[in-house]
Every structure is written in C-alpha cells, then in structure tokens.
Amino acid sequence: MLKIGVSNRELTSELAALNFFDGVGACRLLESDEARGFLLLERLSPGSMLSELQDDDERTHIAAEVMQKLWREPPADEHSPSSIPSSFIRLSDWFDGLKKIRPHFGGETGPFPKELLERVESFLPELFADTNVKLMHGDFHHFNVLLSDRGWLAIDPKGVIGPVGYEVGPLMTNPWSSISDARQFKLQTERRVSILTERLGWGREKIINWATAHAVLSSWWSMEDAESEADTSWQYAMWCAQILSEIK
C-alpha cells in the first residue's frame, strides 16, 4: 500500500518507528522516500479494524497484546547515547502544550474546568517520573489496529518516547463518539481499566490518570486546531476527561 504525506516532523518519526518495529506488532515498511513523503507499506488483509469487533472486552484484550509487542527500549542517539534520537517525538514535548492554556485565556482556564486541569497538572510530575520509558506507538486506538494474515497489527505510529503508561490514553477514549451516554461510557471504562490492570500489571490509578491526562491534552489540541469558535470538536475529549476523573 502506498501512503503519501507531507514531509514533516511526524512523518520522520513514523518512518523511524516503523523501521524500528520491523514488522513486530506493526505493518512492515517496505520502501520509503522521506523527502517526497512516500511510504510503501505492507498491505494488511482483510484489513478490518479493531473497532469493528462488537465485544469490547475482546477488543481490549487484543489491544493489550498488540501494544506490548510494539514497546521497545528507546534507541540510543549515536551522537549522544544518553539522549533521545531527534527522529522520534518526546512525550514531554506534547504535554508542554498544556502550559499554553492559561496564556491563551488571559491567565484563566477558559472552558477547561479549573479543578480538572489543576488535578492533571498535579499528577503529571509523578506520571513522568515513571522509569518505564519506551518507544511506543503514541496514537494507539481501535482504528489504528487492523487484522491481517499475520494477526492484529498496528498502523500509523507516531513514534513517541516516554513513560509507556501514556499508550492506554488514546485507547480509553476511542472509538470517538461511539458512546454518548455517560453511564455506559463509565461502565465500559471501568471494565477496560480492570482488563488493562490484569494484562499490563499496572495499578488502576496509573491507567486512569494517564487516560485523563491524554483526554485533556487531546481536547486542547482540538481547540488549537479549530478553525472557528463554532467548532466544538474539543468537547468530546473534555467530556471523556471529566468522566475518567470520577472513576476510582
């Protein structure tokens, strides 16, 4: 399959990640031309998405298995062994974006609930103190996991290096807009947390906090990208964040 994009920071990181994953847990990169933005990828057949499965427990178990296949020790920078190679994205750079919220709203938090934002800000240092730092997908959700003759594989990795707990964030808030009932979303999320706790060996609080942090960050990204004030796409992620913050 030929994928054509614009040569930029994320394309560079995707290429580096696909090369590093080398077909383990992800589709294979066969050829590439970074300057032109061309990626020749392994065709995944039948190519059905994880989102097409109806049983959410089954989806979550599959997701946990695939994400663990992807995780790698961060490659060393040949020029500075203690540094992260510049070809990959730093998770900390993404979360630095939250520092723009108050300046954007004149020192206030705008439509972002102040208590929720402060809560995320309070536990982020602890989340980033986790020494389980890996190269991960970075946008791991139900539309980026496809069925193939080699099993379930991930596509479109961002190529992010940071505490691997972040990987559950996009999964917990997807499939986007598939659930509009808060009670149903909360019950589904609690079930997912239980499964991920069992499969990954992490505490519930760690999973919930990463998912909440991701949802707030995703909401901010959507607001930044909005072309007008009438664009309310940011509200879904914020809705998820508020419900996630209520789960124990």
We find that the CATH architecture of domain 2-244 is: Alpha-Beta Complex (3.90)
Q: How far lies 94's CA from each of 91, 97, 98, in Å?
A: 5, 6, 8
Global pTM reads: 0.93
| pLDDT given at position 80 | 56
Tell me: the pLDDT tens digits for 172-224? 999 875 556 888 899 999 999 999 999 999 999 999 999 999 999 999 999 99
pLDDT of residue 177: 58
pLDDT confidence of residue 179: 59
Q: For the chain, what are the domain ranges?
A: 2-244
Q: What is the pLDDT of residue 182?
A: 87
Residue 216 has a pLDDT of 98
Structural tokens at position 16 = 């580096």
Please tell me the distance from the alpha carbon of residue 161 to that of residue 71, in angstroms, as a whole number. Answer: 10
| CA–CA distance, 83 with 18 (Å, rounded to integer) | 20
Stretches in the chain below the pLDDT threshold 50: none
pLDDT at 131: 94
d(CA 83, CA 79): 9
For residue 141 the two structure tokens come to 């959700």
